[in-house]
Structure 1
Amino acid sequence: MVKFELKTISKDKTRMTFLVKDATPGYANALRRLMLSEVPVMAVEEVEIRKNSSAIFDELVASRLGLLPLTTDLESYELPASQQDIDDRKAKCTVQLTLKEKGPKTVYASDLKSADPKIKPVYPKMILAKLLKDQELEVVAVATLGKGKDHAKWNPGHVWYNYSPSLKINNKSKAIETFKSKYPSQIFNKKGEIDESLILENNLVDAVDHINDDIIKVEYSDKEFIFQVESWGQLPVTEIVHQALVQFDGKLSELDSLIK
């Protein structure tokens, strides 16, 4: 089992910045790829267009539905074992969403009616179509859990990382008055001093590097990494990280059992 030391730098519902210590570039990249490709989320997989007299082709309607981020409940649903689970509309694997609208009106994601209130569009004001007078759109869609490695619609968010910087800050440097205007205003605290935590929280390391090494000198560690994770909203950002770590542990255990 790989053991990382994780330290949260900042966090809200959809974004998280954390520090990973005692890791290698290979482990860091594996964790990033697991978050992007192995964390399951809900997305529309099948679409039946029952009526469409709008100006939008059926294929485009289906594409828009497929790319809608849907809230995901990993406790109630499981990944389909095969296409047969989807064809059979297995309750643990699928949820049905319906849409029936007539113009004139703008059709929003919120107009989708889900058989499970826990599975619904993350962003209700996303526009699906604009209907003129007497135009109609009727759709039955089936959503399933899936992984980003199979299709981008099952991608839970955006993840990137960089080597952790080590900052040497000299607030007593004689050059501060000369170079102060060159630095982002967000890095100064209420006392007017450069604050390392503000540099990290605002992701401004690159912005302060190479301005004046006597004021701020930046060095990088190849064993510490700062991760930025942004959720598209299907799952809380902390759940994305947790699920990726569970997957990481499971894959390493599987590999260990195969080589013994």
Structure 2
Amino acid sequence: MNQLKNFSLIDDIGTLHVFDKVPQRIISLVPSQTELLVDLGLESNIVGITKFCVHPKDLKFKKAIVGGTKKVDYDKIRALEPDVIICNKEENTLEIVETLRTICPVWVTDIVTVEDNFKMISDFGKLFDCVTETENWNKKLALAFSDFKDFIQGKPVKKVAYFIWKNPYMVAGSGNFINELLQLNHFENAFAKQQRYPEIELQKLNTNGDLDYVFLSSEPYPFKEKDALDMEKITNPTKCIFVDGEMFSWHGSRLLKAFDYFKELHQKL
């Protein structure tokens, strides 16, 4: 990387960052963006990650684990002497971001749409002086995005509820990346009129009888077969489908694999 000097960039929450050199020591508190950084060729620059940064699988054995996405070890982070910390508006709390700002610049992303994802990748190219790599990734993603839109065109719209948590039961509403990908897949979100991740009463699910599928995500709550059986007693004849939560909620380079996964999912439905 070229050692650019005195450049400024604005992150997704409007914070102006001024750098006197390209950040070299990176801590990522966002699993999907950790994966992206590696795919951009920046693995050697990563000094700290969360316990949830599971891709690539061997990374957790090479890098310092500084906590999770909602609770971090500030002393450990400070000792790693990062040049920049990567956070996400949804994944990390405002308290974490504000505290980390006393250590070094904190770059915060906010990904709701596929277009936001393209912008984030481009921003990383400018931030870490790897524009060629980010352009290549955005080209691959754009081609796959276009191909998937051709694939999905003409497929009927199905109404779904996408569960992310149990006790209490929580689903994906609108204003998040999951809802964006549901819409892209011609899945009408039954809870799109509610924001973010509302709690719901299972007994009131599918009261109109118009729900086609219940999607049980693999993360953050790992739904099991018993959960599907319990739901089907209430939502019958709605079919419960286990889905890969990473494919529906991880942004960054993971989206390339997600398009192939979505094709396979539609073939199984």
TM-score, length of structure 2 as denominator length:
0.22
Structure with the bigger RCO (C-alpha within 8 Å, sep 6+) is: 1
| Structure with the largest fraction of helix | 2
Q: Please say which structure displays the higher CA radius of gyration.
A: 1
TM-score, length of structure 1 as denominator length:
0.23
| Structure with the largest fraction of strand | 1
